A and B are shown apart, each in its own frame.
Chain A
Amino acid sequence: MTATESLEKQFDETIARNDRIEPRDWMPEKYRKTLIRQVAQHAHSEIIGMQPEGNWITRAPSLRRKAILLAKVQDEAGHGLYLYSACETLGVSRRELTELLIEGQQKYSSIFNYPTLSYADVGTIGWLVDGAAICNQVPLCRTSYGPYGRSMIRICKEESFHQRQGFELLATMMRGTDEQRAMVQESVDRFWWPALMMFGPPDADSPNTEQSMAWGIKRDTNDELRQKFVDMTVPQAEALGVTLPDPSLVWNEERGHHDFGQPDWDEFMRVVKGGGPCNAQRIAHRRHAHEDGAWVREAATAFAAKGASA
């Protein structure tokens, strides 16, 4: 057995025992690359995801809602920070990753390429988008790479707060005026299908799933998670008093799950490829912040260097 084969064997045994791989452990180059792609994409999603909700901070309709929303968007920045740090343990810097993002070479969750058009969207994003994110992310607490899994434990706790604040906003608005109830329904109508798309294409069309499952990076398939989300959400929608915009949504006694329709996968591919309503806007916003802040980061680096040499 060569040295590499022996390392590979140890790696495979660690994965098989459901133990964590840690930064200093040997890992196959493809595992490292896959992780960087996934964790970076996740970090970028947190940072780009600040924008659609951040869009309403200056117009939040009560001081309590303003505080909640600002704290929530601040949490997303914090999540981005943990995840970029987890990614740095794989040998790539936050700056490199940010540059890959604004050059369009790394992706983020497509859901953030949809606009937020009313204050109800703040609630819907919390309820449906964060709800879908939790379904995706909870299994990642058990992911094989240690720093990623530990980040995810903390992130999932905060995301569950976020989901509840979204639900609570919508429930409050549903007790308000007819206009407010109409705002909630209109918002749910717009976000339902994009939320279902968050789990990725159907398993038959998901090229990376099999290898990621084998490596313990991914724990459930896209379709399994989508089903879980639908089953979780239907009773919540009933409690809220909103209609989910899917005529084929029905409980299937035999399966013990809801049957439901398929999102428009052509639209999904279009948005993934850059043709969504806000793709260019989101990247331009991030690019401006990064470029406008360059002189500040340079000043901090120069000042720290002077301190080190003094």
Chain B
Amino acid sequence: MTTESGFHDSVYDEDLLGGDASHWAFGTSFEDPLAGVDTTIPDGVDPEELAAYCLMLGDDALIYSHRLSEWCSRAPDLEEDIALANIALDLLGQARLLLARAAAASPAVVPAMPEGSPVPPEDALAFFRPDAQFRSTRLVEPDNGDFAVTIVRLLLFSTWRLALLERLASSRDQVLAAIAAKGVKEVTYHRDYAGRWFLTLAQGTDESRSRLLAALPPVFAFHEELFTDHPVETSVAAAGVGVAPSDVAAEVAVILEQVFSVSGVERHDVPQIGPVAGGTGRDGRHTEALSHLLAEMQSVARAHPLGVW
């Protein structure tokens, strides 16, 4: 076997200041999920409502991605560190497309930036919106807890989101349909990952089983909120561009029942977290955790509103 492959010299030879764009990790060679997609807003759809709906789905992905990214360098093993980062990256990608769609549908949703600011709409929405304007569901906001809480939340979130995206893939809005089609492939893996760990923890050791059971009430306390239709969701569903969460409640229940049953875990009703002054996450009424999360996430961007990154 020869040890002179010729490759190693090429690392030095590579021109760092220019050279072949395909060598960039995040170059232009990635497939654009929106290539060739019709971006006009379908007839009979209120652009404000479409934007609000995209923010709901986008904020869920953004905030949950942020939480999952907090596992990085802290996971139980390297394989889990890599897998959780993958899931966070998938959701971050979905968030970027959805926030960009919201901004395109209704530029009024994008916070005003100082004159000359190069901050693109997706970043203005992520980093310069106050907490009360976020429309994420409260499930995704609290701290990660231990690995059992993380897995239970990932199972509930990805089962719910996959059901939504599967229907959304036939949205009349071609952009949402394309984003959903891409998301279905990703979230199918997320749900599978969570389901396999749910079973493993349930059947592993006494400790893992008791931690799993202890993780169910705090996560499933947000169950009702996930399936309660917000007026915007009802309206975009009626217009054929969105999905009313109540429509997927039955199929989500069937999937969860399968996972619980194969794992030998009984599902009990747990007290549900109620609304605040009649509103929930979709209305901008959040958990206490969200403003802490945003204070951290937005700190560098807000210190440099004219900065370019």
Contact = CB atoms under 8 A, between A and B. Distances in A.
Interface residues of A, number: 79
B66 interface: yes
B306 A177 contact: yes
A190 interface: no
Contact of B301 (A62, A138, A175): A62
A44 to B, nearest CB: 12
A138 B11 contact: yes
Which of A56, A144, A156 is packed against the most chain B CB atoms within 10 Å? A156
A176 B3 contact: no
A163 B16 contact: yes
B72 A54 contact: yes
A303 B299 contact: no
B25 interface: yes
B81 A77 contact: yes
A18 B4 contact: yes
A179 interface: yes
B34 interface: no
Which of B24, B79, B81, B147 is packed against the most chain A CB atoms within 10 Å? B81
B17 A292 contact: no
Which of B16, B123, B299 is packed against the most chain A CB atoms within 10 Å? B16
A295 B211 contact: yes
Nearest to A84: B78
A297 B73 contact: no
**Majority secondary structure, A binding face:** helix
B14 A176 contact: no
Nearest to A290: B76
Contact of A50 (B5, B73, B200): B73
Contact of A74 (B85, B122, B123): B85
Nearest to A169: B309
Interface string A61-75: 111111110111110
B248 interface: no
Given A134-B11, A153-B5, A295 B207 contact: yes
A77 B73 CA distance: 8
A132 B306 CA distance: 32
A175 B76 CA distance: 40
B37 interface: no
Interface residue tally of chain B, by bracket?
35 or more
A141 B8 contact: yes
A274 to B, nearest CB: 20
Contacts of B66: 58
Interface in A105-141: 119, 134, 138-139, 141
A135 B119 CA distance: 36
A299 interface: yes
Interface in B230-285: none
A176 B307 contact: yes
B73 A81 contact: no
Interface stretch (B89-97, B134-142, B184-192): B89-97
Contacts of B72: 50, 54, 57, 70, 73-74
A145 B178 CA distance: 48
A59 interface: yes
Contact of A70 (B77, B85, B120, B147): B85
A56 B204 CA distance: 35
B308 A176 contact: yes
Contact of A61 (B89, B93, B127, B204): B127
Contacts of B123: 61-63
B304 A141 contact: no
Contacts of A175: 308
A78 B309 contact: no
A298 B307 contact: no
Given A62-B309, A289-B73, A303-B203, 5 more contacts: A51-B73, A58-B297, A71-B85, A288-B74, A302-B208
29 contacts: A56-B300, A57-B72, A58-B297, A61-B301, A61-B304, A63-B96, A74-B86, A74-B89, A77-B73, A77-B82, A81-B79, A84-B78, A119-B300, A138-B11, A139-B8, A144-B3, A169-B309, A172-B308, A179-B307, A180-B304, A180-B307, A180-B308, A239-B17, A285-B73, A289-B76, A295-B205, A302-B205, A302-B208, A303-B204
Interface of B: 1-5, 7-8, 11-12, 14, 16-17, 23-26, 62, 66, 69-70, 72-82, 85-86, 88-89, 92-93, 95-96, 99, 118-120, 122-123, 126-127, 146-147, 199-201, 203-205, 207-208, 211, 296-297, 299-301, 304, 306-309
Interface of A: 18-20, 47, 50-51, 54, 56-68, 70-74, 77-78, 80-81, 84, 94, 119, 134, 138-139, 141-142, 144, 146, 149, 153, 156-158, 160-165, 167-169, 172-173, 175-177, 179-180, 232, 235-236, 239, 285, 288-289, 292-300, 302-303, 306
What 7 A-B pairs have minimum CB-CB distances, sorted nearest first? A293-B76, A299-B204, A299-B208, A296-B76, A161-B25, A74-B85, A176-B308
